[in-house]
Structure 1
């Protein structure tokens, strides 16, 4: 049986790797109520410049809706087209994960009083094209062509999950890294980035598994569409970063660093699904962004008074210094 052949029996699993991705999300399960944001609120309102508040506020306003779209448009529906219980379970787990992300960002918006901030406008024409490329086309019976499904999995996993938002993650996390501020927000971002990385790896694995089973689908036309989506994603991200910093970049995080960071993620995504990297990356500039992977994927050294470390046992309450002393 292949990925597209329906299996009713729950076990034995044909694709046990899916359970590994589920376990990864379960083992790092988090909810925003674990984090005490009191210090973040104070710093946001009194310590940051107007420009810094504008950048942070406008980014956070985009996040809740973005996560909701991801939940609804891909992970919430992919199980319809790959009828394996373990794949459906993985997709449901990721959809729930995205819902928790959206809830966390919405809570941050409330705590920081971001009603007066506007989400950054994206290039509508480019985004429409990208959405068209990543959308699964179905017939009147709700069935999808394998080649359309494969294209959707590739573009969504490689670019929506593994690239989009990551430069903005880096901007928000940089306040914790370079200014020792916004630690609660920084940890939410770190956890979210780790989750998104798991989603991306799972999607790429799904794509590679399908290519292995249906090698005839790995056509030049498919590859060209993926390359086109990569180019669109790149251009949208560059324009977005330009808009974010239209009033000036941060001295501790130049736009150039973020652009090469984003290009590197695009190249790695393409390589992961057997395609050639196409974006020029300055390795010396990229070294300036090593801190991001160290913060997100390195050993935990979180401020215990702001939040429990990722590897720490799950809690149902937020922790502050006053709770311990």
Structure 2
């Protein structure tokens, strides 16, 4: 029996044979490469924060921490809300879910760092007080709200990727 190759956006309701084996390979490599924040001791980092960094350096890093956690929440949400609905092939969904799960690990790792340094929970939403950070966050939410069709997905992927994964 000869089967036509399904398009990336066409549904397949069985696991194998894969239509897009590269997506499965990407998922597998991604799964094999990740680590958890609980595997990284923070004691030396905390000592450096307290004893080696100037107030200026701490301020600079604090601004990064303010947005990185939220930025990865936005990225993970992008995979779930904007990509998964349009790519139903099981191996492609595995890959996209793996990417979203890595963003969840990043979120947990940044949070672990913030907590280890003794920073207050207010740090997580202080990005809203900085117009550049808030505007980027709002832009990504607005961009996602406009991705309502298969036809707009390619443009959305390019723009979303450029403003999240490509440029922080």
TM-score interval, smaller chain: 0.7 to 0.9
1:7-66 Cα offsets, whole Å, 9 max, x none, are: 111111111111122122122120111111111101101111110111112211222222
Q: Distance in 1 between matches of 2:73 and 2:166?
A: 16
Q: Is the 8 A contact 1:31 1:100 kept in 2?
A: yes
Q: 1:155 aligns with which of 155, 159, 163?
A: 159
Bigger relative contact order, structure 1 or 2, given CA contacts below 8 A and separation 6+?
2
| RMSD after superposition | 2.1
Q: Which position in structure 1 is the counterpart of 2:147? A: 137
Q: Distance in 2 between matches of 1:126 and 1:96?
A: 22
Could you say which structure has the higher helix fraction?
2
> Does 2:27 align with 1:28?
no
Q: Is the partner of 1:114 in helix, strand or coil?
A: coil
Q: Which position in structure 2 is the counterpart of 1:75? A: 79
| 1:91–1:122 Cα change, 3 Å | farther
> Does 2:62 align with 1:52?
no
What is the CA-CA distance between 1:135 and the residue it aligns to? 4.3
Q: Is the partner of 2:164 in helix, strand or coil?
A: helix
Q: Which position in structure 1 is the counterpart of 2:12? A: 7
Q: Which position in structure 2 is the counterpart of 1:196? A: none
| 1:56–1:125 Cα change, 3 Å | closer
Q: Distance in 2 between matches of 1:58 and 1:126?
A: 14
TM-score using structure 1 length: 0.45
Q: Is the partner of 1:161 in helix, strand or coil?
A: coil
Q: Which position in structure 1 is the counterpart of 2:3? A: none
Q: Which ranges of structure 2 fall in alignment gaps of 5 or more residues?
A: 1-5
Q: 2:96 aligns with which of 70, 91, 113?
A: 91
Q: Is the partner of 1:18 in helix, strand or coil?
A: helix
Q: Distance in 1 between matches of 2:76 and 2:140?
A: 17
Q: Which position in structure 1 is the counterpart of 2:68? A: 63
Q: Distance in 2 between matches of 1:65 and 1:133?
A: 16
Q: Which position in structure 2 is the counterpart of 1:105? A: 110
Q: How many equivalent pairs are there? A: 157
Q: Is the 8 A contact 1:134 1:153 kept in 2?
A: no
Q: Which ranges of structure 1 fall in alignment gaps of 5 or more residues?
A: 139-143, 165-325
Q: Distance in 1 between matches of 2:151 and 2:38?
A: 42
Q: Distance in 2 between matches of 1:6 and 1:67?
A: 28
1:182-222 Cα offsets, whole Å, 9 max, x none, are: xxxxxxxxxxxxxxxxxxxxxxxxxxxxxxxxxxxxxxxxx
